[in-house]
Structure 1
C-alpha cells in the first residue's frame, strides 16, 4: 500500500512495543570498514560527527552528525544487516484539518527536478529491488523511508526521495495538487459538480470506521490548544478548504534541510553516503531559521466530557453501539522510564482477558469488548480505556468501575505471577516484533521518538537499564504509583462518549450535494465553462504518458543485478511418535517457533462454524487442571503466544484441491519450551466448555471484533466474498467473517436454549480435530536446540489422540454472486474475480510480471490517478485465482468498467527491452522481500503442505526472467474471458450501492442492523 496514512500507521504501531527494542533476534557483528576512522568532532563531507556510541542491545554503533552548512541532522546505525535503510523526515506540525502535510507527502512524489516523470514513486516501485518503499504522515512529522539489499538500488532510491522532497514539481504543475489532494470535477456544463482527489478519497475511507472517529475525538478532547487536536491526515469536510497558496507555503516552510532528520542504517559505506547526500543535495542549501517546535498542551484543572457521533446506516438500531472512553495524558516522551513502565502496566491491566481492569469492565456488563491504547506517537503520550457496544447511560458506572478497580489494585498490589507474566510477555513480544527482516524501518521510528522532541536520538534504542530500574522499584510499589499518578489523580483526562447516528452519513452526503449544487448555481456561464475546460485539460494531462526522455532520467538496474537462483528454505523431514516433523533450522536467538497443523477435513459441513468458535474459545476457557485466570497467567509467563487459526493450503496447480487445517502456533523461549508444550496439551485435550457466562462473554467479544473487522477491512471482505463465488476453498474461507458473524449473533440471541448444543458441538469438533491423523508439526529454531524441541515435544506427542476420521465432501451453494454489501461508508471496495484454470489456462511465472504491469501501470493510472481511489490491485495465483480489487474508491460502475477494459490495455501493450527489464526487476523485488525466521518457517510449511518444490519455484523464477512483451499480450484473451464471467462483490456506501442496484443480484447490509 502506498504512502501509509497516520491512522493506519498508528493502528499498526499504536503500542510502544514496535519502538521498544529491548532485545533483538539477530545480533550484528562489528564491521572493519572505513567508519572505524571517524572521530567525534571530525567533519566528513560537511557533516560533523557530534557523538558516537555502541548500543549492545541492538548490537549497533550509533553515530550522530550535524550538517554544518544547513543544520540538517543525521544518525547512522552501523551494523552488518545487508538490508540497508534510509529515511528523511521533517517535523510537520499541522495547523488545521485540511490534511496539507498528508497531501504534500503524496504530491512531492509526483515528479521532481532531476526526475521529471509524473510519478517516480510508481516507477521505482515497479522497477526496483526495494525491500521497503513508502511514505507516511504521522501526527507531527512526515517520513520518507526506503530500504534495499542492493547498494546500487539503495543509492538510486535515496536519490529519488531526496530530489522529491527538495525539488518537487508541485510549484510548476497545479495538476499535482488537484490529483493528490482535491479538485472540483465537472465533466460537462449539465453534469453534477463533484469533489475528487486521492487523499480526499483515502480519508473518506479512513474515517468511515467508528474506531477512527473515536481516535480523532480523543485527541481533540485532550489537546484543545495543541497541534494534536487536528487530524494531520485531513478531514474530508475540511480538505476542500486547502488553497494552492497554503499548500505551497507549507512545503516551503517545512521542507528545508534545516528542519530535516536523516536516518541511515545497516551495512553501508557511511563516507560514501555522506558525500552523496552533501554534494548532490544539502550543499545547495543554506541554513534557515525555522521554528517547528511542538509545545505541550497545558494540563487541565478538571476532566473534560465530550459527546460525539459516528454514522451508521439509516434505519439501524442504536442499541448497544456506543463507545465509552476514559483518556489520560501520560507525561511526555522525555520521561522514558515511566513510558516504558506504562507499557508494562498496560499488560498488567489489559494484557489478557483475565487482567483485572479488562475483566472488571466486562463482568460489570459495560460493553462487549474492553481494550486499551497507549499512543506514544506524540510529545505527550496518551492512554485510553475503551469499551464498545455500550450505552451512554452507562458512562457513570464505567468511570466508577475503573476507579474502584484501580484503587483496589493500588491497595492490594499485583501478585508475583502477574508481574512475572507481564515482564515475560513484554520481553518476548518486544523481541518478536523487532526481529523482522525490516527492523531498520522499526528503529527509524524509535529514533524519531526522542529526536523529534529535541532529545537524544538514541534515547529509545536502549532499554535494559530502565527495565532493570523498574524491576528494582517493584517492591516500592512502582506500578501502583504509576496508577495513582497518571490515572487516579490525573486531571488531564477526558471522558468521550461516541454515539451512533443512523443516517448521519446519508445526511452529510445530501448536505454536500446541495453545497456543490449551490456553488455551481453561483457560477457564471463563463466560470462553468472554465471549470469544464479545467476538468478536461486535467484528464488530458493524466492520460498523457511520460516522454521517453523523462523515463530515462530515472536510475535503473539491469538483469545482472538480480540473483538468478531462488533462496532455498531449509526443510528436513523427521518423525516423532509417527508424527511428521518439518525441521527448519535457522538462527532465532533461542526462540522456538512451532506450528502444529491438525487436519480439519473431517469436520462435518454443519459444524464448520463451530471450528471457528472452537478456535476463539481455546486458551480462554478453563481446563481440567487450570481455571481461566491461572491458565492465562501461565501462558503469558511461559510463551509469547499460543494461537489457534483455521486455514487452508491450496495444492500447487491442483485444480481447486485444498487442505483444511487448524494451525496451533506457539512461540517460546527455549528454556520454557517444555512447559509451553504442556500448556498446549492441556488446552487441546482438556478444555472445558461448561462455563456458561464465560462462553457468552467470549461470543459477545468476537461479535464486536468482527464488526470492527468489517468496518476497517472492507476491501478484504469484498475480496473474500467474491472468491467464495468461484471456488470451494473460497467458500470454506469466507465462512470466517460474515457467515460466522451471523452465526454468532444467532447463538447470542438464543443463547440459553442453544447452550447445550454449543457445548456438545465444541466437544465434538475438538475430538475430531485434535488427532495424530495427518498431523504435521514444524520446528523453526536454532539448529543446536532441535534436540531440546524433540525431547519437549515427546512429552505430549503420546498424549495426542489417534482417532481416524474420514474427509468430508462439502456441498456449498454457489447460487449467490454479485452482491452489494452496504455500510455507512463514504467509499466503495470492489472485487472482481475468476478462476483462469476453468478457462483452460495453466499457471506460469510470466503471470507474476503481468501482475506487476497491471498493478503499477494500468490500475494505478485508471483507478487511483484518474478515478481518485486510494488504491487498485491485480493479483494472480497458481491456484487459478485472478483478482481485480479497488479500495477506498469513490466510484463503482466506473471501476467495474476499468476492470472490464483491462484486455484493451493488454491488447495494445508494447514495451521495449528496457521497459521489460524494469518490469522483471520490479517483479523479482516483490517476490524477494526479506523474511524473518518465523516467516521463513511458515512459508516453508506452506510449500511442503501445498506440494511446492524448489524446482517449481526455480522454474517460476526462470519464467519471470525470460518474460517478453508478447507474453504479456498473450494473456489478453484470458483476462477478457475472465471478466466476461462477471463475478464481483462491492462493499461500501449504502447510497452509492443503491444508486447502482441494477448491477447486483442482491443488496443487503454487510452486518446485522438490529
Structure 2
C-alpha cells in the first residue's frame, strides 16, 4: 500500500515536471512580486521583450525575451523567491549510441577561454554558495542549471557556465575528451589494454540495472526510426566508437545561442543581468540556423514483439525473473487527456483491487504489475509492466490486458474504482501545496518553461493552472476514462510487447568479449604504435597530475567572507505536554499542511525479533484491520492523508557512541483532515490483523524480489551499510535491520512460508505490542499555530488509545565480526568503502567539515574521478569516524590505495589566503542549503532526540570560519593513525573482486543460487 501511495504522488510529479501543469496556491512569499517597469516590444540591453504576463496561479511574471543579434531565447520568471536560478539549455538530439552529448556535457566544464583551469565546475562547487550546481543530458536536450541565494554568487556561476558552453577548451586540448569520454589505457608493453573514461564508467554502472535496459527496449520497440532509439547517455559498448572529430563537430553544431534557451528565476535585477549576458557573451554571436528537428515515428501497423536480455550471475535461478511490458505510443494527445492518462495508470493498477492488477494477480502473471505514462520524449508512452514473470506467460499476459481493457470499455469502471478519484484529488491537493511551498519550486517551474521551449509550446499556458484543471475535472464524467482506454490503447496499433529475460553469465560473457576484443586490437599494433599508446597514457596522467597555475585559479570569480551569512537560521521548537506525552511544536508556514512525526521507542524489542521489527515497518498499513481489508484501508489513507510511513532507525547521541532505536511514524495531511488521519493511524497500530495469509506471503515475495531486481545498482548502499557495522554498535544495528541479513531473512520466510506462517504472525503481533506504547514516546508537529490547535484536539483523542505498558530495555550484542568483505553483484563497476575510527580529541565539527570539503573536492576528485575514471568519490568525517567511498569505479585496489594515502595529502596541504577563504566559503554554503518545511521540523526533532544543543550549530559556523591550513595538516597525522587500523568493504563485479581476493577476508555472492 505504501508503494501505491508513492505511485499517486509520482503521477502528480510527472505531470508537473513533464507536462507543465502545476496546481498553484497563493503564497505570501510572492506578494508584491510584480514591480518591473519593463514594457513589451521594447529592447533592453540587446534583448527584445516579446511578451510579459502575470500568472496569478503562481504569483509570478513570465517574461519572454529574444536576443536580437544571436537569436537566443531567454525566459525570466520574476517573483520574490530568494533562491535564484539560472540555466542554459540546448537542443541536442542524438544520432547514435556513443553518448556524444553526454560527453560534451562533462567536457565543456573542464576549462574555458576566460577560466583556463582544468575544472572550473569543481572550483565553483567548492568555493561558492550555490544551492544547486549540475549539468544533465536528456533524451533530446542538454541543460546546465545553477542556483544561489546570493545574487553576486549567481552572477559568478552564470559567468563560468556561459563561458564553458560557448568557449570550452575542448578544441585545443584533446585530453579533456579522453578523460571525460573514453581512451585506451596501456601502462607497459606487457600489460593489458583497458578502456577508461568518466562517462564510460558512469554508463557501465547505469547498465547494471534491468529497469534501465527494459525502458531502453521499450523505446526502441516503439520508436525505431527516431532519435529516441538511441541512448543519449551512451551505451558503454558503443561509446568507444566516438572519435574526437565527431565530438568537436557535434559541439560546434549545437552549442550556439540560436539553439539555446536561457532561464532566469527569482528576485533579480533583470536589466543588470541582461546587460551582463549580452555584453559578455551573446553580443559576440550572430544568428545561425540549426537543424534540431526530430523526425516523428510513423505509426506501426501492428503490435511489435521485442526480446531483450539483462545479466544475472552464472548458475543463478532465472525462474520468475522475466519482465513483460505492453506499450503504446500516444500521439496527438490534449493537455487534459495527458492528466487523464496519468490517472488512468493508477486506476488500472494502483491497488490490488484495480481491475487490471486484480486479473494479473488472479492468473499468477508475475509478482507485481504497474502502469505508467511517460512524458520524457516528444512521443509520450503508456506502458503496462509486470515484474518477476516468465517468458511463457507472454501470450497470456497480452490476452489478459486486452480482454480486461475491453471489459472496462464495455461495462465501465466499477464503483470502487470510481471512488478512487477522491483519493487522487486529495493527493493532488496536498502535492500542489507541498510543491508550491518547496524550497526548490524554481526548479519545477524551470522544467515546465524549458520543456515548453523544447517542443515549441506555450509556457504561459502550462503555468496557468486553475482553468486547465477545471476543464479536466469537467471531462471526467460520462465514461471519460473508458473513452481514453478505447482511443489511446485498444484502438492504437502503434504498440509493442517487450520481453526482457535474465541471461545467466551475460556480464561475465561481456567482460570476456571485451577483454578478447582489446587483446585482438593490441595484437594488430606495431611496437611503435604500442610505444605511442603507452606515451599517450603517460601524457594524460601527467596532464591530470599537473596543478593549475595560481593565475588560472585566480581567474575563477569568488566571494569574500563579508558575503557570508554567519548566523544560524533556527527552527523554533516549543516543548509541550499532552496527556503525559512530550510534544514538540515547530511553528513553520506549511500552506495548511500538518506534518506529524511520532518517535516510538523500540529498545524493548529482543534481538532475535529485530528483523521482525523491520518487517513490521513494511507490512503496517498494508494488512487487514478490524474495520477494513487492506484494499479498503488503502482507499481510506489516500482519501484523507498525504502520506503515511513507518521506519525503524536509530539516533546517535551527541558526542557519544550511544544510540536510541526508534520507529518513526510519519503522517501528513491537510489540517482539516488531521482528526481523521489519527483515526486511521489508530486503526493501523492498534487493530491490524496479520492473518491474511495470501497477502502476507505476497508482501514477503515482493520485498525479496525488489531487493533482487535492484541489486545491480544498489552496491553503494550495501557497501556503506556493511562498512558502518565494522566500527560501531549503531552501525551493526542498522546493517542488521536494513541490509543483507534482512534480505536473507526474507528469503527464508519466502522459501518456508507455509511452515513458518504461524510463527510469522505471532512475532509480528508481539513486536507490534512492544513498539506502540506511550513509554518514552515523543511526538512532533510542524505547521502554523492555527493548525496546531486542530492537531492538539485530534492527538488528545488518539493518545488515549495508545497502549501504556512497560517492558524491559534490551541489550544488543551483534557477534558478526566479519571485516574486509567483498560482495559480488551483477555490476560492471565497483562500489568501494574504507572506514575507521579516530582516537583523538580533535572534535571541532566545523573544521572537520572544511577538511572533508578539501578531501572531496581536491584530493579525491583528482585521484578517484579525474585520474581513476570513477564517476565519483568522497569522504564522511564525523568526530570519531571516517568513511571513504567511491562509486561506479572501474578500479578496486588502486582506489583503496588512494584512500590510504589521503593522510599524506593533508600533511602536505598548502593553500594561500585566497584558496583557504574559498574552501571556507564553499563549506559555509553547505550550511545554508534551502530545505522544505517538513525537513526543517525533522531536523529540529533530530537535534532534540540526539541532545545536540542549538549552540552547536553556531559554534560549527565559527569553527568553519576559523579553520586554518595548520588545522588541515594536523588532521593528517590523526588520519594516518586511523588508516593503519581501518577496514574496507566492496560491492562489485565477480571478475574484479576475485582478481583482488588477497585483500578480502571473505567474498560472498549477495544473491545466492
TM-score range, shorter chain: over 0.9
Could you tell me how far apart the structure 1 residues matched to 2:28 and 2:382 are?
33
Root-mean-square deviation (CA, aligned residues, Å) is 1.7
Maintained 8 Å contact 1:597/1:777: yes
The residue number in structure 2 matching 1:271 is 271
Structure 1 residues 601-1000: aligned runs within 5 Å: 601-654=603-656, 656-734=657-735, 735-836=737-838, 838=839, 841-878=842-879, 880-1000=880-1000
Do 2:325 and 2:497's aligned partners in 1 also have CA atoms closer than 8 Å?
yes
The answer on 1:351 being equivalent to 2:353 is no
How far did 1:402 drift? 2.0
C-alpha separation in 2, matches of 1:165 and 1:434: 31
Higher mean displacement: 216-225 or 194-203: 216-225
Q: Is the 8 A contact 1:78 1:265 kept in 2?
A: yes
Alignment of 1:585-600 (within 5 A): 585-600=587-602
Q: Deviations over 1:135-191 (max 9, x none)?
A: 000101001000000011010001000000000000000000000000011111221
Aligned ranges for residues 107-186 of structure 1 at < 5 Å? 107-186=107-186
CA distance in 2, matches of 1:899, 1:589: 46
Deviation at 1:25, TM superposition (A): 8.0
Paired residues of 1:906 and 1:971 also in contact (CA < 8 A): yes
Give the distance between the partners of 1:434 and 1:974, measured in 2 at CA: 46
What is the aligned partner in structure 2 of residue 5 from structure 1? none
CA distance in 2, matches of 1:855, 1:244: 30
1:157 counterpart SS class: helix
Map 1:248-287 to 2 at 5 A: 248-287=248-287
Displacement of 1:24: 4.8
Q: Where does residue 395 of structure 2 map in the other structure? A: 396
Q: Which residue of 1 aligns with 2:563?
A: 561
Q: Which residue of 1 aligns with 2:4?
A: none
After superposition, the Cα gap between the structure-2 partners of 1:915 and 1:276, relative to the gap in structure 1 and judged at 3 Å, is: same
User: Structure 1 pair 434/504, CA: closer, same or farther in 2 (3 Å)?
Assistant: farther
Question: Which ranges of structure 2 fall in alignment gaps of 5 or more residues?
Answer: 1-8
1:848 to 1:933, Cα distance in 2 relative to 1, 3 A: same
Q: CA deviation at 1:376?
A: 0.8
Listed as ranges, the gaps of 5+ residues in structure 1 are 1-9
**Range that drifts further, 739-748 or 699-708:** 699-708
Match of 1:4 in 2: none
Equivalent position of 2:553 in the other structure:
551
Question: Residue 409 of structure 1 aligns with which residue?
Answer: 408
2:925 alignment partner, SS class:
helix
* Displacement of 1:51: 1.5
Distance, in Å, in 2 between the alignment partners of 1:434 and 1:649 is 31
**Superposed displacement of residue 249, structure 1:** 0.5
User: How much has 1:608 moved relative to structure 2?
Assistant: 0.6
What is the CA-CA distance between 1:240 and the residue it aligns to? Answer: 0.3
| TM-aligned CA distance change 1:169 to 1:24, over 3 Å | farther
**Matching of residue 361 in structure 1 with residue 360 in structure 2:** yes
Aligned-residue offset at 1:426: 3.0
> Are the equivalent residues in 2 in contact too, given 1:362–1:697 (CA < 8 A)?
no
Please name the residue that 1:233 is paired with. Answer: 233
Deviations 1:887-918 (A, max 9, x none): 00000000000000001111110111111110
CA distance in 2, matches of 1:359, 1:859: 51
Match of 1:7 in 2: none
Kept in 1: contact 2:91–2:260 (CA 8 A) = yes
- Give the aligned partner of residue 335 of structure 1: 334
Counterpart in 2 of 1:483?
485
Change (3 A) 1:709 1:575: farther
Q: C-alpha displacement at 1:40, in angstroms? A: 1.4
Contact 1:647–1:660 (8 Å) recurs in 2: yes
Task: Using the TM superposition, give the Cα deviation of residue 55 of structure 1 relative to its aligned residue in structure 2, in angstroms.
Answer: 1.7
Shift of 1:419: 1.4
Q: Distance in 2 between matches of 1:939 and 1:431?
A: 21
Q: Distance between the aligned counterparts of 2:67 and 2:868, measured in 1?
A: 42
Distance 1:214 1:529 in 2: 42
Measured in 2, the distance between the counterparts of 1:643 and 1:32 equals 37
Q: Is the 8 A contact 1:113 1:169 kept in 2?
A: yes
Whether 1:423 aligns to 2:422 is no
Shift of 1:106: 0.1
Aligned to 1:779, the other structure's residue is in SS state: strand
Q: Structure 1 pair 150/12, CA: closer, same or farther in 2 (3 Å)?
A: farther
Please report how far the alpha carbon of residue 433 of structure 1 lies from its aligned counterpart in structure 2 after TM superposition: 4.3
Hey, which bits of structure 1, 4+ residues long, moved more than 6 A? 10-14
Deviation at 1:992, TM superposition (A): 0.6
Q: Which position in structure 1 is the counterpart of 2:517? A: 515
Q: Distance in 2 between matches of 1:602 and 1:32?
A: 54
Please report how far the alpha carbon of residue 274 of structure 1 lies from its aligned counterpart in structure 2 after TM superposition. Answer: 1.0
For residue 727 of structure 2, give the secondary structure of its aligned residue in structure 1: coil
The answer on whether the counterparts of 1:348 and 1:422 sit within 8 Å (CA) in structure 2 is: no
Answer yes or no: is the 8 Å Cα contact 1:84–1:154 preserved in 2: yes
Map of 2:585 onto structure 1: 583
How far has the Cα of 1:428 moved from its partner? 2.1
Q: Supply the distance in 2 between the matched residues of 1:482 and 1:427 (Cα, whole angstroms).
A: 24
The residue aligned with 2:317 is 317
Question: In the superposition, relative to structure 1, how do residues 750 and 133 fare at CA in structure 2: closer, same or farther (>3 Å)?
Answer: same
CA distance in 2, matches of 1:148, 1:24: 24
The CA distance in 2 between the partners of 1:526 and 1:171, in whole Å, is 27
Q: How does 1:275-314 map to 2 (within 5 A)?
A: 275-314=275-314
- Provide the C-alpha distance between the structure 2 equivalents of 1:223 and 1:662, rounded to a whole number of angstroms: 47
Name the SS for the 1:15 alignment partner: helix
The answer to whether the Cα contact below 8 Å between 2:11 and 2:343 also exists between their aligned partners in 1 is no
What's the secondary structure of 1:475's corresponding residue?
coil
What is the CA distance between 1:362 and its match in structure 2? Answer: 3.1
Q: Deviations over 1:358-405 (max 9, x none)?
A: 343334321122223322111111122211111101112212222233
TM-aligned CA distance change 1:355 to 1:576, over 3 Å: farther
Residues 55-94 of structure 1: matches in 2 within 5 Å?
55-94=55-94
- 8 Å CA contact 2:26, 2:58 repeated in 1: no
